[in-house]
Structure 1
Amino acid sequence: MVKARKIRLLPTKEQEILMFKSIGCSRFTYNWALNKCILAYEQGEKYSMSSIRKEFTKLKKEEDFKWLNEVSNTTMVESMRNLNKAFKSFFKNKSCYPKFKTKRKSSKSFYVRYDHLYFKGDICNIEKIGKVRFKTNYKIPSCNYSNPYCSFDGKYWYLSFTFEDNENQVELNEDLSIGIDLGIKDLATINVLDKPIKNINKTKRVKKLKKRLRRLQRQVSRKYEANKEGNKFVKTNNIIKLEKQIKLLYRKLSNIRKNHIHQATNKIIKMYPFRIVMENLNVSGMMKNKHLSKAIAEQGFYEFIRQIKYKCEFNKIKFIQVDKFYPSSKTCSCCGSVKKDLKLKDRVYRCEKCGLEIDRDKNASINLGNYGLA
């Protein structure tokens, strides 16, 4: 199985400058190649990425573009490959038409040449960047690495890569079937646990960070209005400082949520059931509800399902997603009768036939756990 590793880099100031240059050159290459594709389309021709690559090689020899030679050529070639993948995905109706990357919104990352990447002690070698110090709690295997990317999250530098690893098969509990019901009040309700997995966004720590974020955003808004010149907003040094603080707060909140999802999914997998059953949620459709979209986005349902899937695959646990129209909440987990008039505001399920009273989400998780076993 292919496994991924992400380690933190500790570059020097000179190495950091080269890394930012690599990000800039990667973005420039993508935009330059996209512009060539658009021009070819306007002239009634079909774009050819191989001919664009040859033209780019000539461009690098020009005096005005000598700065492109300061970074790894593989980084820029990979940008053109990514553009080609984006076009193929567009032609298959899987994604939108490729857009130009902006310095402000695009992710700060660049491809690293895999055959020049190696580790020795606490140092890793990156082409054109040199030997960079790193730290990690993982053991770095000595093997062939694939798809290595260097990224910057606004505070720290990271190197991520994948490698082939033997499947870690463990003994599964053949009597344990886990049903998971995702929700907004609690992240997940599990049929075999007494307490649901809590919603991290309701904790004091996250609420305090969100309150601080709102305060900083109001400060920035006031400063923009105070420094407005006609129809233009002037960005002062104080605004830049506040925006950096806001960016770091968003980063902190994102990391807290990701860590919580990792711990929750790991807790479920460590029970080693023979199967895990979940509903096939239409997350993009749920996001259209303007009253719940923010809460759904903060819960990270898509990421939760993604992590459960790959962790099940690694441990050879059967993963089942039942149809989204399966009445898991409306069906009584005791007698099996369906309560068709159950509303979203009804948080306690009361069965009219057998008299069962149970939490709505707990009832749904039990039904999912028993799905297909009878």
Structure 2
Amino acid sequence: MKRFQPQPGFVVQAYRFALDPNAAQEAALRSHCGAARAAYNWAVAWVTASWWQRKAEESYGVGEAQLTGWRPWSLPALRKAFNAAKHTDPRFVDWWEENSKEAYSTGLSNAAAAFDNYAKSKQGKRRGKRVGAPRFKSKRKARLSCRFTTGTIRVEPDGRHVTLPRLGTIRTHEPAVKLLSRVQAGTARVLSATVRYERGRWFVAFQVEVKRDIERVRRPDAAIGIDLGVKTLAVMADSTGEIRTVPNPKHLDGAMKRLRRASRVVSRRRGPDRRTGQQPSRRWEKANTHRNRVHHRVANLRADALHKLTTAVAAEYATVVVEDLNVAGMLRNRRLARRIADAGFGEIRRQLTYKTRRNGTRTVVADRWFPSSKTCSGCGVVKAKLPLHVRTYHCDACGLVLDRDDNAARNLAALAAVSTTGTGVAGDRDAQRVSKPRGADQKTRTTRRDHKATAERAGGATLPHQRQTETRDRTHPEALTLW
């Protein structure tokens, strides 16, 4: 599907509202989401059938020219094949007319995107973790979601109802006047709508093309470095040296007592059992709903706090410097995994990226191996080692004594000057990346040469005040390392 390109002066953003459907409307919503899942599974089975057929023919010695042809997985090809199969396939023939065509198109487009990601990952053209072949979606675990791109998609004039194809008019839990006023004024145009069930409630998200003027930030010449942590959520240092600390609200820790109590109640009720076909009791369903309500409240509180933090930062500074944290690796630490997940490091970076782009500013991403905590923010000397339990930074060269997180935030803020001059920046328009050789724990000549070459390729991305000193490893005196 061709990606939508907004007009000059317009941006594409989402307006999300909670829904209050009645029993019939909720059944229709679940039917549409189930149809999207069924279409996705059909597309996966239809494409992979040719793979298994070719593999079986090759085992029988069939030549390459006589093998069964590959089935395409482009969205137009999947739509054409599905429209021909839905009239005869016993999985769809009795009920496919009950749902909008957009429900099936949602599943087919998701399948086409999944096969594209798999092919690009197989060919080495996709960044990130390797993507496997698409698998079937379970009815029990699949997320309920459906997207509408054609038909009647609008907010009703009263601002309390929305209309979607085949679903009709559904009441919203909250007023939608913010989107309605923009549509009536001619400064917004609805492109699509996506319904989703999450956190115990149905939501509708409108993808809207909005005319939005770039808002000037309050400090257009200032930059800020943000060091994220668990004990303190964020330590922020601006280019003038001012340091601000954002405490970690720890929403999950505050709800653990209620969550444990609710979980004990659930465990004492008769729950479902797939092995024996046992159905849950009404008391189990009530207890499970109460437990889920605790989880949903924690998630809502976390999302609200992160949005307030990132909005305030993006509205004040022209340059925001954050670290490229290995959150997936940090979550493997069983002692800190729960608190790291509760902090939402990845969500903070994601929100800062699109909010700074929306304000006409930028987000600079420091390299994952940049020694922000080991570098002295005063003279630039880098320590060889700085264990995590050492929370105060002592510089042996200039005598600077500073909190570890405050020192890291100042070094991140100093990277804004490097990215401004273009030194060591290798990023895109949305999030620039400043790279720095690791050079902190590797102590061999080969590693030193590799890091030196990396620094040369990156344009020598060091801080303006940073200087390197030569040290010898005590255990291997012959290994000379540049720190």
Common topology (TM > 0.5): yes
Trace 1:155-234 onto structure 2 (pairs within 5 A). 155-172=200-217, 173-192=219-238, 194-201=243-250, 206-223=252-269, 232=276, 234=278
Secondary structure, aligned partner of 2:406 = helix
Partners of 1:17 and 1:85 in 2: CA distance = 28
Give 1:318 shift: 2.2
Is 1:57 the counterpart of 2:91 in the alignment? no
- Which residue of 2 is the match for residue 319 of structure 1? 363
Contact 1:175 1:274 in 2 (8 A): yes
Of 100, 109, 112, 2:136 maps to: 100
Contact 1:186 1:199 in 2 (8 A): yes
Q: CA 1:65 to 1:365, structure 2 compared with 1: closer, same or farther past 3 Å?
A: same
Secondary structure, aligned partner of 1:43 = helix
Contact 1:282 1:324 in 2 (8 A): yes
Secondary structure, aligned partner of 1:346 = coil
Is 1:39 the counterpart of 2:49 in the alignment? yes
Q: CA 1:85 to 1:17, structure 2 compared with 1: closer, same or farther past 3 Å?
A: same
Contact 1:113 1:126 in 2 (8 A): no
Secondary structure, aligned partner of 1:328 = coil
Partners of 2:169 and 2:279 in 1: CA distance = 37
- Which residue of 2 is the match for residue 5 of structure 1? 15
Partners of 1:130 and 1:321 in 2: CA distance = 45
Partners of 2:323 and 2:137 in 1: CA distance = 36
Give 1:52 shift: 4.5
- Which residue of 1 is the match for residue 171 of structure 2? 133
Contact 1:34 1:100 in 2 (8 A): yes
Percent identity (aligned): 29
Question: Could you list the runs of 5+ residues in structure 1 that have no partner in the other structure?
Answer: none
Is 1:67 the counterpart of 2:95 in the alignment? yes
- Alpha-carbon deviations, 1:247-290, whole Å to 9, x = none? 3322222111111110110121222x221111122222222333
Partners of 1:339 and 1:358 in 2: CA distance = 14
The AA in structure 2 aligned to 1:296 is I
The AA in structure 2 aligned to 1:198 is P
Give 1:150 shift: 0.6
Secondary structure, aligned partner of 1:32 = helix
- Alpha-carbon deviations, 1:101-160, whole Å to 9, x = none? 122221111112344212232232211011222223623332432342011225322111
Secondary structure, aligned partner of 1:89 = helix
Q: CA 1:162 to 1:51, structure 2 compared with 1: closer, same or farther past 3 Å?
A: closer
Larger radius of gyration: 2
- Which residue of 2 is the match for residue 111 of structure 1? 147
Secondary structure, aligned partner of 2:412 = helix
Partners of 2:246 and 2:203 in 1: CA distance = 30
Give 1:224 shift: 5.9
- Which residue of 1 is the match for residue 72 of structure 2? 48
Contact 1:114 1:148 in 2 (8 A): no
- Which residue of 2 is the match for residue 259 of structure 1? 304
TM-score between both structures, scaled by the size of structure 2: 0.70
Q: CA 1:246 to 1:101, structure 2 compared with 1: closer, same or farther past 3 Å?
A: farther
Partners of 1:313 and 1:222 in 2: CA distance = 50
Secondary structure, aligned partner of 2:216 = coil
Structure with bigger helix share is 1
Give 1:26 shift: 1.3
- Which residue of 2 is the match for residue 338 of structure 1? 382
Is 1:362 the counterpart of 2:406 in the alignment? yes
- Which residue of 1 is the match for residue 474 of structure 2? none
Q: CA 1:51 to 1:314, structure 2 compared with 1: closer, same or farther past 3 Å?
A: closer
Moved more, 232-241 or 85-94: 232-241
- Alpha-carbon deviations, 1:5-47, whole Å to 9, x = none? 1112232322222111111111111112212222221112422
Give 1:236 shift: 2.8
Which one scores higher on RCO, CA 8 angstroms, separation ≥ 6? 1
Partners of 1:51 and 1:279 in 2: CA distance = 42
- Which residue of 1 is the match for residue 348 of structure 2? 304
Secondary structure, aligned partner of 1:329 = coil
- Alpha-carbon deviations, 1:31-74, whole Å to 9, x = none? 12212222221112422345543443244435873322111012
Q: CA 1:174 to 1:20, structure 2 compared with 1: closer, same or farther past 3 Å?
A: closer
Q: CA RMSD in A?
A: 2.5
Give 1:232 shift: 4.5
The AA in structure 2 aligned to 1:14 is A
TM-score between both structures, scaled by the size of structure 1: 0.89
The AA in structure 2 aligned to 1:352 is D
Partners of 1:26 and 1:174 in 2: CA distance = 46
Partners of 2:33 and 2:208 in 1: CA distance = 24
User: Number of matched residues?
Assistant: 368
Partners of 1:233 and 1:78 in 2: CA distance = 31
Secondary structure, aligned partner of 1:188 = strand
